[in-house]
Amino acid sequence: MSRSFADLFSREPQVRADAPGRVNLIGEHTDYSGGFVLPLAIPQRTRVELAPREDRLVRAWSANMKGTEIEEFQLGEERPGRGWLDYVQGITQAAQRAGHALQGFDLRIESDVPPGGGLSSSAALEISVLRALREAFHLEMDDVQMALAGQKAENDFVGAPVGIMDQMASNLADETTALFLDTRTLSYEKVPLPAEAELVVINSGISHRNAGGEYRVRRQECERAAELLGIHQLGELSKQDLWRIPSLPEPLDRRARHVITENTRVRCAVSALRENDLPRLGKLLCASHESLRDDYQVSIPEIDRLVELAREEPDVYGARITGGGFGGSIVILARRGAGRQAGDRVVARYEDETGEDGTVLVPAPVTP
Ligand code: GLA
């Protein structure tokens, strides 16, 4: 049962903030190797309400956790191991460690970003809480510092070794302009989606399996491949360096090949966007999927099937897995106006064949 802020804390909230989930168009599993990414925001968001307190107690409640009680912790005494509350504790710890003075607060959280869908529900939570804290306590944090604080919370407190893409996307991207981000320097440019293009996002209904463990393994493999090649990060390599890949042992050769070719694809995707060349952009998405499936090995058969079904649609230019992988969602590049119907047909066939529960998340259903 959903409860209002007033019902939970017997007073009104002082600050309201929100932040979106993201879909990555292309540039997958490159952000912890210093590569390029190209995410956009999705309409699904996490919304928070907050009221400061005079003491150092934090009380938090999430509408998404059925039947949950109000959780509590003291600032400065954050301890991991408390589920969704770890994201809130991680944020207060990261903000305090960065020298920001906080007071206690009451917090209500509500989100329609599906967890485990590969659409950054965690970054949406981190950034929405940071936005509320920034306003409530007048914190001097710019957009990039906020994203870094979100990543720190996740890396150091939650224990997920993620890159910086999701927090940057949640804080800086919007729904119609892709964020072309260089994850090495954190410099970025906004690249608009052509008017003739429409993105469709389908959740496979399969929450990323083993994501934690496998994600960490991929990251370690990239670090080891870079070490063997005598470089700092794989993102330093370009197409001209592909000849060096066969010197690496299996599966490090495949992992490195994915990062190099994916980085090239992101640059090509940005030119395709600027030139309005949707067929070319679609081919790049398909090539990215194949590389993630065969070289990086982060896809699963159900997701491969969704991508195949999408590619059979006449108004679809290309499709691929998006996010961390091992389940989650796919992104489809379709002709504007045709996306919703194509997505609905793909989901119907997918459900028939696999018995899984697929959902078209973007574009939102047309309300009569
Ligand atoms: C997750 C991580 C990101 C990124 C993607 C894969 O979403 O949070 O940092 O590594 O996986 O591209």
DSSP string computed for 210-224:
THHHHHHHHHHHHHH
| pLDDT tens per residue, range 311-320 | 999 999 999 9
pLDDT at 222: 98
> Which of these, 153, 164, 154, 219, lies nearest to 187 by C-alpha position?
164
Span from the CA of 221 to the centroid of ligand 1 (angstroms): 15
Residue whose Cα lies nearest atom 9 of ligand 1: it is: 163
Residue for token pair 């389940």: 327
Q: Average pLDDT, whole number, for the chain?
A: 96
**Residue 177 neighbours by CB under 8 Å, 6+ apart:** 40, 190, 191, 192, 193
- Give the active site residues: 166
Span from the CA of 183 to the centroid of ligand 1 (angstroms): 12
Residue type, 221: E
Span from the CA of 367 to the centroid of ligand 1 (angstroms): 32
| pLDDT tens per residue, range 8-40 | 999 999 999 999 999 999 999 999 999 999 999
pLDDT at 366: 66
Tell me the two tokens of residue 205: 């209904």
Q: Which atom of ligand 1 is nearest to the CA of 123?
A: 8
